[in-house]
Amino acid sequence: MSGTSGAKASSAQTNGISQGTDNMRQEDIFEKLPEDIIRHIHYLLPIQGAACAACVSRAFLLSWRCYSKLILNDHAGGLAHIEFEERKIPLIYKVDKILKNHYHNGLEVESLNLILTFCSNIKASYLDRWLRRTVKSGFKELYLEMPLEMKKIYNFPCSVLSDEGAASSIQSLHLAVNCAFHPTSTLGCLRRLKILRLSFLYITEEGLEHLFSKSSTLEEMSIFQCSGIICLKIPSTLEQLKFLSVDRSKMLRVVEINAPNLCTFHYNNSPFPYDSALPEIYVRNCLQLKHVKLSSSYPSLLSYARTSLPSISGNVESLILGSCGENANTPVLRSKLPHLKNLEIGLRSATCLPLSYDIFSLVSFLDASPALESFILRVDQPDWAHYPVVGDDEECPRRKVDLWHNRLREVTITGFCSAKSLVELTIHIVESTHSLERLTLDTTQGGYDRRIYGTTGKFPAARKIGKCWPMSKKAVEEAHRAVKTAGRYITGRVPLGVQFEVLGPCSRCHTGEQYIDQ
């Protein structure tokens, strides 16, 4: 035994020496490489890999000090252990030192991710100096995030983008800053700018016009909670724009889109007051617009969408509608959505839909979509007790089938309950859809397909589990009634070839201890 142990120890020593020699040999190889090659290899690594390489190689350590992709925040600065309120001064000092080092040594900064979310009273002179030292020729990406509550409104120095060298190289601009942003005609030509994300900014329509006139290569644009814009005009000169998102810009009243190659358009004005009206949306010459998502707290979104969408985009293939309340039934119109394949409608409300609202009226969307293949309905109502529900009669009243849905294959209803009009809609779908392959009735709120994922232990490697959205005791009781309702009125009508599933409350998440008060 002792001889065997000695042999193993000797073998381990030999392997250790051999491994150490290999590491030394590898390090020698890196140190012999030209500096520009080392920097190029380092540049190709992701930020975590670049940092790890700097820990094991002197050559990469020297390169790390000149690294061109800078992520500067309290965690990257090693300040996570300091009290939140006390991180400001050391963070500003570290950022200033790093950027000063790069500037004075003539080191190029390619991307800057600067997050100063707790520096509410930072001096504008610091920010101006950092941007002027960094945004130079060869600079590609800027992400700047500041506190929502600034002691003094910051004016972003658009002059840094007036330099043609800097303007012509930048590819991504993301400003999440509570500041004023005023592009002028002196702006340089942003001939490589592909991604533009503006959040919490004050920017005028004139400023946007100057910005768009210099950004002909723009491919993706997001506007989030920006003020100062009443009429948003997307000009035809943005020929490469494919994605446009406008979110929670409450002053907006008109949206005009002329981008010829736009593929995706998202609009959301929630959760502002329920009386905030939808803007007038005009889409012209956008033959490539296939994916549309509209979400609003305005109480007639579905009626608006049903009447306006055919004229906005007759080529739409994927449509998501999120309504926080409807005050009128969805109208029946002759206008069609001839290319619509995937439709998702969400009815969510902090208050209940009016008693007069007929969920069956949503069939108007199905009748208008002859190419529809997938339909998802999400109903999130806090209390169905006051709605007309199916009674004790054996037969649920049927409505006449006017149109057949010959391509509809998959239907999912989340928040399925005993509401009479919802049961009638489900029966109508079953009896008018010969192409149906799968029907899922989910009686829970939130839905099993949108579970919150967590882990079973403290470590990331722990097994992931799905956690259901919480439900009130009333909601769980209604879900159990809905399961019985589905069994009584739906199951017998579903053809044998259709995959049919009724999902009840989760036995793990929706126990008595997991209820939420309501």
Q: Got the DSSP string for 448-460?
A: GGGPEEEESSSST
Pair of tokens at residue 188: 């340089």
Tokens 């199951």 label which residue? Answer: 491
Pair of tokens at residue 417: 């309950």
Tokens 């392959």 label which residue? Answer: 437
pTM over 0.75: yes
- Please give the average per-residue pLDDT across 46-62, as a whole number: 62
pLDDT of residue 269: 82
CA of residue 271 relative to chain centroid, distance: 16
What are the b/e assignments for 22-37, b being 16+ CB within 10 Å?
eeeeeeeebeeeeeee
Mean of all residue pLDDT scores within the chain:
81
- pLDDT band for position 161 (cuts 50, 70, 90): very high
Question: CA 388 to CA 418: how far, in whole Å?
Answer: 8
Max CA distance (Å), the chain: 92
pLDDT digits (tens, 9 = 90+) for 354-380: 767 888 999 999 999 999 999 999 988
User: In one letter, which amino acid is 197?
Assistant: R
389 pLDDT exceeds 60? yes
Neighbours of 497 (CB within 10 A): 8
Question: CA 189 to CA 186: how far, in whole Å?
Answer: 9
Is the pLDDT higher at 53 or at 393? Answer: 53
In what order do the strands lie in the sheet containing 280-283?
A: 231-234, 254-257, 280-283
Backbone torsions φ then ψ of 11, nearest 5 degrees: -65, -40
User: In one letter, which amino acid is 160?
Assistant: V
Comparing C-alpha atoms, which of 365, 263, 247 is closest to residue 310? 365
Pairing outcome for strands 464-467 and 452-455: antiparallel
Pair of tokens at residue 324: 């926080």
Comparing C-alpha atoms, which of 226, 311, 316 is closest to residue 269? 226
* Most confident range, picked from 20-24, 239-243, 328-332: 239-243
- Please give the average per-residue pLDDT across 412-434, as a whole number: 92
Question: CA 379 to CA 385: how far, in whole Å?
Answer: 14
Contact 364, 336 (CB under 8 A): no
Alpha helices in 236-337 (DSSP H): 301-312
Question: CA 38 to CA 30: how far, in whole Å?
Answer: 7
Comparing C-alpha atoms, which of 464, 468, 436 is closest to residue 449? 468
DSSP three-state, residue 179: strand
122 pLDDT exceeds 70? yes
- pLDDT band for position 401 (cuts 50, 70, 90): low
Least confident residue range of 5-14, 233-242, 353-362: 5-14
pLDDT of residue 77: 53
271 pLDDT exceeds 60? no
- Please give the average per-residue pLDDT across 458-476, as a whole number: 66
